[in-house]
Structure 1
């Protein structure tokens, strides 16, 4: 199979790193500079992505397009692509619920081939090896899997139904992200009563307790702007199947208190807990 030309839409920290992995099995990996921030430009340059001036040029040149953006922007981005009558392979890899994944596939119409994707893990840098779960037509998922063969992005095909990969991603996120929010609340409560070190000590006696990993509180705060919308998506999925969504909605509401900590890699545990208590 000939190596495709790949486009990455909105190359954030995850998208740019994933796209860079795809470059190993692609002719080129493109991104559109239109309307993008200096940070995005610097990130794309660091990962060796090839700039083009417009989305139209990107879609015209690319056989495969990967959408990795904040959940709230997923459908608007798909509409922009659909408006150009894109007829290639579209990898919908955002943290959205299964119903929205199906809607996006419908929105792109019969011209495009849509693969549903869900990334579990950290961006593929510094030895990290996230998994990209896929669902959709067999030939299409095989093509995406081939794109990442031999790279730090591991792929696994779940089935042929659009929505399966999104459902797995959000099922995992509903535990993994909410548990980190509970850690912040537990440590914050203990700190207010002067027993936070004892709490961490108790938790450290268990090898499987997030409570002993206090460094994740500040990391959670810095990622809250992304994690909150993901949990809202997961809550929608719970409600759709008759399961109670309140736990995840409450966690999303808690994460909203850290809205001004976006991507703050210098945030300390004390600063994160102070913001949580006083926002």
Structure 2
């Protein structure tokens, strides 16, 4: 389609930045301001998104809707979209299990065309170039490729089966995010015995070791409210493949100790480790 109108659900740090990239090839990028926080409103204004007052208004005007929200809300949000009878292309870009992506696709049929998506990388600001992996009907994935053509969001199509993009996202997130959790546990244990600096020194001899990046623990703590549900989704995907999900459930439970540190930009490494040590 030529110069589509795009709706973004909801403009968080990733969603707003991705939507801003889509604006380069769209007639307009809309977001629904009802019920959203002042932080969401600031982000939407910063990235030049166009506010609409209600979700039905957004859906009526949009040719493409991109869903980027916390994983736990993805299915309920899709139910709202389905109830409205949206008829465009719905990009399910949340960190959810392949099975949930397939359920959402079934919910939105036959009116909407669902493209399964998974974003790997940081929000596309400051030179960052994440990849949006896609799977679904050829015409629909081509439409999304065109939407992000020439922008900081790279696209890669994995096939026509809904669930493939979600599977890749969760396979990657299972390692990446669990590794960060293990860093916090390892350094926390070493600190208890006064050998944390020695542990970091040992790890720094391996340039590919997360243990040599203890400063990332603070970022992990601030994002725990979002990462925990992603790992629960990944655990469900492991269980569906007859693989043990226990480590990811345990990592999610560990992250829950940081839930009150949500986006706490002033958090220090000491604060983060202290919070981790409190039941």
Q: TM-score when scaled to structure 2? A: 0.99
**Aligned counterpart, 2:21:** 21
**Aligned counterpart, 1:222:** 222
Local SS of the residue matching 1:271: helix
Alpha-carbon distance between aligned partners in 1 of 2:207 and 2:258, rounded to the nearest angstrom: 28
Please show how residues 119-268 of structure 1 align to structure 2 within 5 Å.
119-268=119-268
**Aligned counterpart, 2:106:** 106
Alpha-carbon shift at residue 32 of structure 1 (Å)? 0.4
**Aligned counterpart, 1:93:** 93
Where does structure 2 lack aligned partners over 5 or more consecutive residues?
none
Alpha-carbon shift at residue 47 of structure 1 (Å)? 0.7
Provide runs of 4+ in structure 1 moved above 3 Å.
Answer: none
Alpha-carbon shift at residue 120 of structure 1 (Å)? 0.4
Alpha-carbon distance between aligned partners in 2 of 1:62 and 1:243, rounded to the nearest angstrom: 40
Per-residue deviation, residues 226-259 of structure 1 (Å, max 9, x unmatched): 1000000000111111101001110000000001
Local SS of the residue matching 2:155: strand
Alpha-carbon distance between aligned partners in 2 of 1:266 and 1:18, rounded to the nearest angstrom: 26
**Aligned counterpart, 2:47:** 47
Alpha-carbon distance between aligned partners in 2 of 1:247 and 1:44, rounded to the nearest angstrom: 37
Alpha-carbon distance between aligned partners in 2 of 1:84 and 1:66, rounded to the nearest angstrom: 16
- The number of residue pairs the alignment matches comes to 279
CA RMSD of aligned residues (A): 0.6
Per-residue deviation, residues 18-47 of structure 1 (Å, max 9, x unmatched): 000000000000000111111111110011
Per-residue deviation, residues 69-104 of structure 1 (Å, max 9, x unmatched): 000000111011111100000000000000000000
Alpha-carbon distance between aligned partners in 2 of 1:234 and 1:2, rounded to the nearest angstrom: 36
Alpha-carbon shift at residue 207 of structure 1 (Å)? 0.7
Please show how residues 57-96 of structure 1 align to structure 2 within 5 Å.
57-96=57-96
Alpha-carbon distance between aligned partners in 2 of 1:6 and 1:224, rounded to the nearest angstrom: 29
Q: TM-score when scaled to structure 1? A: 0.99
Local SS of the residue matching 2:165: helix
Local SS of the residue matching 1:190: helix
Alpha-carbon shift at residue 278 of structure 1 (Å)? 1.3
Local SS of the residue matching 2:257: helix
Local SS of the residue matching 1:7: strand
Where does structure 1 lack aligned partners over 5 or more consecutive residues?
none
